Amino acid sequence: MGRLMYSCEQASKLSSRAMEEPLGRLDRSLLRLHLMVCGGCTNFSRQIEFLRRASHKVPEALEKDED
């Protein structure tokens, strides 16, 4: 059983990688399983997605700085 449960470190690493490329089917299922039971990793995954949205807006923010 142990091998089928990802640690938070493995899960968060996969959440990050999933933003760059599609995960394999096994990784995807095991990550989903981990996220279902782990609030910390669920928050992490949401937060790095938010940070991507924010980062895309940096040029806009730099423009606003002008006023």
Q: Which residues bind other proteins (CB under 8 A)?
A: 7-10, 12-13, 16-17, 19-21, 39-41, 43-44, 46-48, 50-59, 61-66
Determine how many CB atoms are found less than 10 A away from the CB of residue 56.
9
Q: Which is nearer to other proteins, 33 or 48 (CB)?
A: 48
Of the candidates 62, 17, 64, the residue with the CA atom closest to the CA atom of residue 44: 17
Q: Which is nearer to other proteins, 24 or 39 (CB)?
A: 39
Of the candidates 30, 22, 24, 43, the residue with the CA atom closest to the CA atom of residue 4: 30
Q: Which is nearer to other proteins, 36 or 62 (CB)?
A: 62
